Amino acid sequence: MYKKIPVQTSSNDNYEITIGSELLDEVSQFISQHYGTNKIFLVIDELVHEHHKFTIESKIAGTFDKVARYVVPSGERSKSIEQYNSIVDFLLEDGAERGTPLLAIGGGVVGDLAGFVAASTLRGLPLIHVPTTLLAMVDSSIGGKTGINHRTGKNLIGAFYQPKAVFSDVNFLKTLPRKEWVNGLSEIIKYGMIESKDILDQLKTLTEGENFASPDTWVDIITQSAFIKADIVSRDVKESGVREFLNFGHTFAHVIERKGNYEQYSHGEAVYAGMLGAIKASNHLGATIDPSNLLHFKPLYDVSLSAINGDVKDLTNLMLRDKKVKDQTIRLVLLNKLEDPVVRSFADTAFIDQSWEEVIKEFN
Ligand SMILES: NC(=O)c1ccc[n+]([C@@H]2O[C@H](COP(=O)([O-])OP(=O)(O)OC[C@H]3O[C@@H](n4cnc5c(N)ncnc54)[C@H](O)[C@@H]3O)[C@@H](O)[C@H]2O)c1
């Protein structure tokens, strides 16, 4: 049984997310039905290619006459202009046409990179996401953000480009390293905090014991998480209103990532600690959120913020929205209570300094 989630976009190119186990047959059926083509391009993450080559070849590649494969080296460094150029060269030299579908098979790195290639080559190739990490299934494959990094910062070159479909097959997760599971957990916890306490309860069960529950049993929680993201981005395609709720914990997290030179802490670890900052800040403003809703999951994370210990005012200053704006404020997603997010801007930031102190103490 597959779960399906419709995603609405502003430009009427609505699409569906399909989530389940063993659903790669559906991918080829979808392409045959919609594109009547014999040719497809696969852009595949290196480790996914290594672990799942046989399945991808038999279920997807084997059903088309002409299949061109490009394997992307694993890791964030591949979200580069060099990889972008190399894939575009590969597609055009291989005779890509406007209607040739491009499948992005991998985590957020391949999704963002191949998505941007699809957005820009021949003014747009049909893009199909096949996410293979927990993070990509619940977050990066949904919402149409594509892009690459520039030496001056992350995700600075890119485009909003909606896929034609997303197929999340939890079988891929069988080979996902534990560190990458934990990375994706933070986004699921975030959805729990901003919209569904039920998700937090389910997550407690799925992460009980020594090992996480088998990927098959994650279909429901991935579906609920993907639904929340799809619902929020459908209401706010280009990120001006409710989509900001998805930044819960992220303003704190960006400072933590920066202080760790984008190496010491993974995004998921930073978001996890950042959500404690947002809870503490909310409570300083009068909410009464029990931090144990978040801290229950702390044993899964291996985060120590002792390296960023120092003057908390410096950390708060790094959160300032725009150094060029005279009236400097910090914009935060907070909670009135669990499942009730709100966005507010602050010029008086003493309570944020205090929140940092508490976060550092918790993760010392
Ligand atoms: N577009 C968006 O809206 C959006 C949202 C969130 C994050 N992102 C981006 O996503 C990226 C992070 O994505 P990610 O966390 O998926 O990282 P990733 O794509 O780098 O994958 C993490 C690691 O897991 C490996 N891997 C992937 N699937 C595997 C599998 N099934 N089995 C074994 N290994 C596997 C990869 O080779 C890599 O080493 C960042 O670049 C971030 O900017 C984009």
Q: Which of 133, 166, 169, 173 to mutate to test the pocket of ligand 1 (most atoms within 8 A of CB)?
A: 133
Domain boundary among 148, 178, 208: 178
- Higher-pLDDT residue of 311 and 87 is 87
Decide if pLDDT at 153 tops 90: no
Ligand 1 centroid–CA 58 distance in Å is: 24
Residue 207 lies in a domain: no
pTM above 0.85, yes or no: yes
Identity of the residue numbered 253: A
Q: Are residues 16 and 165 in the same domain?
A: yes
Which of 55, 117, 135, 233 for a ligand 1 pocket mutation test, highest count of atoms within 8 Å of Cβ? 135
Residue whose CA lies nearest to ligand 1 atom number 13: 108
CA of 285 to the centre of ligand 1 (A): 35
Indicate which CATH number applies to the domain containing 262.
Answer: 1.20.1090.10
Q: How far is the C-alpha of 274 from the C-alpha of 253, rounded, in Å?
A: 5
Strands (E), 271-363: 330-337, 340-346
Q: Report long-range pairs for 237-240 (Cβ below 8 Å, ≥24 apart).
A: 237/9, 237/10, 237/144, 237/160, 238/10, 238/160
Domain of 75, in residue numbers = 3-178
| Residue 37: band (very low, low, confident or very high) from pLDDT cuts 50, 70, 90 | confident
Give yes or no for a contact between 171 and 21, defined as CB atoms under 8 angstroms apart.
yes
Asked whether the predicted pLDDT for residue 215 surpasses 70, the reply is yes
What pLDDT is attached to residue 80? 98
The residue whose CA has the least distance to atom 6 of ligand 1 is 140
| 161 in the same domain as 14 | yes
pLDDT of residue 300: 96
Q: Is the pLDDT of residue 75 over 60?
A: yes
pLDDT band at 108 (very low <50, low <70, confident <90, very high): very high
Question: Does residue 227 sit within a domain?
Answer: no
Place of tokens 């993760």: 363
Ligand 1 centre distance from Cα of residue 123 (Å): 25
Q: Among residues of the chain, what percentage have pLDDT more than 90?
A: 85
**What is residue 262's predicted lDDT score, i.e. its pLDDT?**
87
Q: Which two tokens stand for residue 353?
A: 């300094």
The number of folded domains in the chain is 2
| Other CB atoms within 10 Å distance of the CB of residue 279 | 26
- Asked whether residue 20 falls in the same domain as residue 166, the answer is yes
In the predicted structure, residue 237 carries a pLDDT above the cut 80: no
CA 135 to ligand 1 centroid distance, Å: 7
State the residue for tokens 């063993």: 22
| Domain end position, chosen among 178, 204, 225 | 178
Catalytic (active site) residue 243: yes
Task: Assign residue 48 the CATH number of its domain.
Answer: 3.40.50.1970
pLDDT above 70 coverage of the chain, percent: 97
The answer to whether 76 is a known catalytic residue is no
Q: Which of 49, 52, 129, 145 is catalytic?
A: 145
In the listed set 153, 178, 203, which residue is the last one of a domain according to the structure? 178
Catalytic residue list contains 267? yes
* 160 and 279 in a common domain: no
